[in-house]
A and B are shown apart, each in its own frame.
Chain A
């Protein structure tokens, strides 16, 4: 009798287990979209960014570096290999230039090569100190002369007090 009872309970369990059918996901062979509100890789819309550096200020992983390569160019360097996908940068950005995309398939064998973002932003130089200061107005945009790296030619390399060497074919892009 006891045996039959056990058998019956096992049978019941088997029927219960059959009811939901197959639950295993087909991923990676079938795509699977992340849920609403998922935060994936942050990407910057360069044309919207004003180069304020707020995102670099709040990033807990300090994976955003702001570099001024010359008076009018500011470069945001993102090192996503240590990004924690917290979304602070997107939250703080005054012009909503950063979007937390839904990209999550980030596996790579070379994070220094693949998990980076580099965004070159045009700035207006400060009239006093000459450093990058604020987003250029429409008028400033007209006055832009180009990045310093394209202006290095053999002549100014000779005169350059900092000893920048120009190999004119390469730097003159």
Chain B
């Protein structure tokens, strides 16, 4: 509650981001840099990269959070002054991507840090990253919705299926 309020208060100002690679293949990192070029111009929203987490308002995490990087990322997170926002960029950071169950990967940024916004994509287009940041800033609205459907001719409508019988939530 207080956190949401603080985020609302802080975010409309300039948002300085610190970019962390937690084991990404560099695809997402390139797209994050792309977002900062004049063509996409994230600086319109006051976004700029800073060199130290102590100067940052937001962490931008790319990659599936490998075992090796997790302690460093945690330290970087602790160094960011409150209130802080964490963005997970890419399918890897969102849910572990292709590596979600490998032995040296913890499976997504949210296994280590509380993440506020997720931008899936492999890598996400710069527009998708901009959309994620703009949604966090309250400039645009969330577009994606869960899709549930039953094949034609069923006597049950998908809306009638009680929530306990939705299957996807059981998946890890």
Contacts and interface: CB of A to CB of B under 8 A. Distances in A.
A83 interface: yes
Contact of B168 (A25, A77, A82, A84): A77
Most buried by B among A41, A83, A144: A83
A107 B156 contact: no
A6 interface: no
Interface residues of A, number: 61
Contacts of A49: 151
B154 A147 contact: yes
24 contacts: A24-B39, A44-B149, A60-B98, A61-B91, A61-B98, A67-B167, A82-B100, A103-B143, A105-B127, A105-B131, A106-B143, A107-B118, A107-B131, A109-B116, A109-B118, A111-B95, A115-B120, A116-B168, A117-B146, A118-B168, A119-B147, A122-B154, A146-B154, A149-B161
Interface of A: 23-25, 27-29, 32, 34, 38, 41, 43-44, 46-47, 49, 60-63, 65, 67, 69, 75, 77-86, 103-109, 111-122, 141, 144, 146-147, 149-150, 170-171, 173
Interface of B: 38-41, 44, 91-92, 94-98, 100-101, 108, 116-122, 124-125, 127-128, 130-132, 134-136, 139-140, 142-156, 158, 160-162, 164-169, 171
